[in-house]
Structure 1
Amino acid sequence: MSREIVKQRKFIQLAFILLILLFTGMYVSLTHGEFTMTISDVIRTLIGIDQNREHQLVIFEFRLPRVIIALFVGLGLGIAGAVIQALTRNELADPGILGINAGAGVAVVIYMYAVSRMDVSNELLSTFSMPFFGLIGGTITALFIYGFSWTHGRLDSNRLLLVGIAAGSGLGAISLYISLKMNPQDFEAATMWMTGTIWNANWNKIISILPWFCFLLPIMFLRASHLDLFYLGEDTAKNVGVSTEREKSIWLLGSVGLISACVSVSGSIGFIGLLSPHIARSLVGLHHRKVLAVSGLIGMVLVTFGDFIAKTVFSPVELPVGVVIAIIGIPYFIYLLKKKLNK
């Protein structure tokens, strides 16, 4: 049996295991909570056989939108993290740590503040507009960090990390300052949102981010082979005729677009873009078409289980899912940082 066939079988087995974990997370999220349902109740409600109004309300208004948002956020942040790590060739790079989440977040907070001042009543229009503001804020932040991390004709990974952490801290302070100007109700919502939460998921939010994923993901997977070259070094990409500046712009805008869409519906959830790609590369190597797929699946599993833990562990009090992910992510980041410094 050839080596490629063995690798392909291992990849299929890995994807199957991750899908089992994902469906397990979806199962516990849909059946468990303040109101417990059996899997039979859930299936009958989903296919329209069960006409119990209480079951329909719990599934279609609360739990199912929340699960779908968790899947999209995990998928988007996992893939965006893999892209940023490949472009920067830095395994510590993460949209949250580098401040890109904070950049998208501060733009969305400004938008929320402006909408609250203008008393805009069209919720659907407001929800659709948020990812665009996030894209603007995230792109400006990414360009700022990228520009300040460029030295002697190359991207300095250590400077990238330091500039990103500084930018993230500063932008987080700006977001907090703006939120303090809001009325108490909007301030509470903004504070919960900044810590990373999907408790108020609804179908409008799902509709607002769906076009971003449908447009950006196919482009990323079709061009994934270019990331293999970038991870080996920019000179390698140039030597095979890749227009590196053009490719970097496409990848940067694509990843920031995904991040902005995720931030607009879940707030700033950090460490998914750090954990998922690192675990994916350790499992499938450096073939980025596989890395993107596995990283996205791992991100979906992490956010789905993280949200389930957030809403059940201290029930009826609910933790933001961003706090749960941070409890896992911070020790892992320290481990990676220590490993990098010891090289």
Structure 2
Amino acid sequence: MIEKSIIRKQRMLLIVFSFLILATAVIGLGLGYSSVSYDRILPTILGQGEFKEEFVLFSVRLPRIVITLLAGMALALSGALLQGITRNELADPGIIGINSGAGVAVAIFFLYFPAEAGTFIYVLPLVAFIGALLTAVIIYLFSYSRTTGMEPVRLVLVGVGMSMALSGAMVVMISSADRIKVDFIARWLAGGIWGTDWPFVLAILPWLVVLIPFALMKANRLNILGLGEPVAIGVGLSVQKERIVLTLAAVALAASAVSVTGGISFIGLMAPHIARTLVGPRHQLFLPLSLLVGGWLLLIADTIGRNIIEPNGLPAGVMVALIGAPYFIYLLTKK
């Protein structure tokens, strides 16, 4: 039984982070090389803006904001699922190499399998999912022991090594590519938000529409997994089946996000940990909050990054890493 005070606190925090997302989005609309003045945002949304204002708002700023928000939510939920499956608060799709696996698959597809622009956008999340899934399988095999099962520390170490190896493989692949393709992959590696048109929103949205409700329905199963394998087996839970299904969901969420945002790490680490600190370890409470925290973190990182240096700014992945790396070290020393 969850205390009513905790539920009230969670609802209040959901409202607070929803407001932070809205405020950050409005601030982002009025900043940057192409922007709309704050007193013209509402009239432009209501259809009373000039052509330039409508173009900047609806074709430049809003698609990027929506993509960034959705990707942050996907990465946060992916990290929360991985942490629940492995019982390791240091698990993150970027740190343990899943994002790099998706990136290698995207790079191979981009370099060697040219496709039409319309097809490319929608196939990209599927390609990223295949690469991320293969990486997750390899990491699982190397971090699993027959005697002790999944070892959390080994998982992180194997994942970090896999991430470095895959990043090296990507550098080798692009060494012989033409400059345009090299620029794209370099931007992907840095975590630049490159999918900034409405078709990219349509490409990532179906994955989230299916997987977010699915993950929320599995909250109680994640609570049981957190109690340990003997307890989970004792209450009749099929541990291996649940881990496989939830891992697939986590991989799909991470792949759908990085296919349009590039290699962004630490969102999946920080957002669940912040949410868990605020409302406690029950997945029913902190999973919804993780979604909003992750979306806001990536949105504010991108807003600051693209305005800190004119005109191109810093990639969102770099801004997140500047915050996330010290946070990771703090958690590592604490845990």
Could you tell me how far apart the structure 1 residues matched to 2:229 and 2:118 are? 42
Query: Which residue of 1 is the match for residue 272 of structure 2?
Result: 277
The gaps in structure 2 that reach 5 residues or longer are none
Query: Which residue of 2 is the match for residue 147 of structure 1?
Result: 141
Instruction: Describe the superposition over 1:278-334 as per-residue Cα deviations: whole angstroms up to 9, x where unpaired.
Output: 111111111102211111111111011000011101112311100000000000111
Could you tell me how far apart the structure 2 residues matched to 1:131 and 1:35 are? 28
Letter matched to residue 136 of structure 2:
A
Query: Which residue of 1 is the match for residue 105 of structure 2?
Result: 107
Query: Which residue of 1 is the match for residue 84 of structure 2?
Result: 86
Could you tell me how far apart the structure 1 residues matched to 2:21 and 2:274 are? 16
Q: Secondary structure at the match of 1:286?
A: coil
The gaps in structure 1 that reach 5 residues or longer are none
Q: 1:78 to 1:236 in 2, by over 3 A?
A: same
The one of 293, 296, 303 aligned to 1:308? 303
Task: Give the alignment's Cα RMSD to 1 decimal.
Answer: 1.4
TM-score, normalised with respect to structure 2: 0.96
Letter matched to residue 202 of structure 1:
D
Query: Which residue of 1 is the match for residue 202 of structure 2?
Result: 207
Pairs aligned (count): 334
Letter matched to residue 46 of structure 2:
I
Higher deviation after alignment, 292-301 or 152-161: 152-161
Could you tell me how far apart the structure 1 residues matched to 2:312 and 2:263 are? 20
Q: 1:251 to 1:33 in 2, by over 3 A?
A: same
Q: CA deviation at 1:61?
A: 1.5
Q: CA deviation at 1:199?
A: 4.3
Could you tell me how far apart the structure 2 residues matched to 1:260 and 1:195 are? 16
Instruction: Describe the superposition over 1:251-300 as per-residue Cα deviations: whole angstroms up to 9, x where unpaired.
Output: 01111001110011001100001101111111111110221111111111
Given the alignment of the two structures, is residue 189 of structure 1 paired with residue 195 of structure 2, yes or no? no
Query: Which residue of 2 is the match for residue 61 of structure 1?
Result: 59
Query: Which residue of 2 is the match for residue 42 of structure 1?
Result: 41
Q: 1:229 to 1:60 in 2, by over 3 A?
A: same
Could you tell me how far apart the structure 2 residues matched to 1:311 and 1:100 are? 26
Query: Which residue of 2 is the match for residue 129 of structure 1?
Result: 123
Q: CA deviation at 1:237?
A: 1.5
Moved over 4 A (4+): none
Q: Secondary structure at the match of 2:61?
A: helix
Q: CA deviation at 1:91?
A: 1.0
Q: CA deviation at 1:200?
A: 4.6
Could you tell me how far apart the structure 1 residues matched to 2:2 and 2:325 are? 37
Instruction: Describe the superposition over 1:106-144 as per-residue Cα deviations: whole angstroms up to 9, x where unpaired.
Output: 1111111123xx4x3x21201111111111111111111
Percent identity, aligned pairs only? 37
| Pairing 1:186-335 to 2, within 5 Å after superposition | 186-335=181-330
Letter matched to residue 26 of structure 1:
A
Instruction: Describe the superposition over 1:173-224 as per-residue Cα deviations: whole angstroms up to 9, x where unpaired.
Output: 1112112232101111110012111145111111111111111111111111
